[in-house]
Amino acid sequence: MSEKKATRAAYGEALLELAAENDKIVVLDADLSHATMTLKFSQTYPDRFFNCGIAECNMVDIAAGFSTMGYIPFCSSFAIFGTGRAYEMVRNSVAYPHFNVKLCMTHAGITVGEDGGSHQSIEDLALMRVIPGMTVICPCDANETKRAVHAIAEMDGPVYLRLARAASPVFEEEMPFEIGKANVLRDGTDGVMFATGLMVSPALNAAAALAEEGKKIAVVNVHTLKPLDEETVLNMARKCGKVMTLEEHSIIGGLGDAVAATLIGNGDFKFKKVGINDVFGQSGTANDMLEEYGLSDGKVLETARAYF
């Protein structure tokens, strides 16, 4: 992992690649194109870009309309607005009729940083997971984001793609990406860490450090929270016994609960959820936030060492 790049930046690049291949791709934004990284798309394809203003509810409804005409609309805003303010429209105008709308929201989680708790969406995965028929994806790095964007353009139906503001490590080895299929990045027998999004890197770093101490900890990248790869979750949990989940999201309703629901009644496991413990975020740098909420590399290692 020699470079850092924000997943939102990779999203913007992927949109340009898609648009060159498919003239049905349209992009809608809520007056945040500089932040969502859709600006280059708007400049390159002005006739296929629609700035809906600070009106996420309208944006989602317009996207629903586009989908009924055979277009593939990608909607972008901050996660707190795209999943919170526009929730009813996402539910009733997009998911209920199962329209082909791609909801790609950035600035999710506490790594939004200085914008503070009001803008740090720590419940977006839970909100989107509970909607019937919604696919929910949280890529771990820029490369996976690009593959995810191309994949969701190919599938039919509503998708929520979670993106981050902060630059994060880019894995040197590209991983295969298939919607609904988790990737085992590191094998082990003494425990397993299921991680999603920006928490995949700290999980791998912790596992590498623990390996030097004689502990073999597996790491699984769960980029698709819904549909969850239950087969891989069960196989790795049964193999390792001790399970930990890591997410830059509330421990309520996100990856931890998805994994726990899969494991209940299917074996005897020790289980620990690591994430935001039912509190709001606060203002500070992205690194300060990760440290404060126990999600930095060092804090994840401390927690994993004590648990495993």
Catalytic member of 3, 56, 123, 291: 56
Task: With beta carbons less than 8 A apart as the criterion, state whether 202 and 300 touch.
Answer: yes
Q: What is the DSSP letter of 115?
A: G
Task: With beta carbons less than 8 A apart as the criterion, state whether 208 and 273 touch.
Answer: no
Q: Is the peptide bond before 227 cis (omega within 30 degrees of 0)?
A: yes
Question: What sign results for the dihedral spanned by CA atoms 92, 126, 280, 289?
Answer: negative
How distant is the alpha carbon of residue 49 from its chain centre?
Answer: 24
**Cα angle value 156/126/138 (rounded, 5°):** 55
Q: Cβ of 20: how many Cβ atoms within 10 Å?
A: 11
* Nearest partner of 27 among 70, 75, 68, 67, judged by Cα: 75
173 is an active site residue = no
The label of the residue with tokens 């590191």 reads 186
Task: With beta carbons less than 8 A apart as the criterion, state whether 63 and 75 touch.
Answer: yes
The label of the residue with tokens 């991983």 reads 175
Strand 159-162 versus strand 183-186 pairing type: unpaired
Residues designated as active site: 56
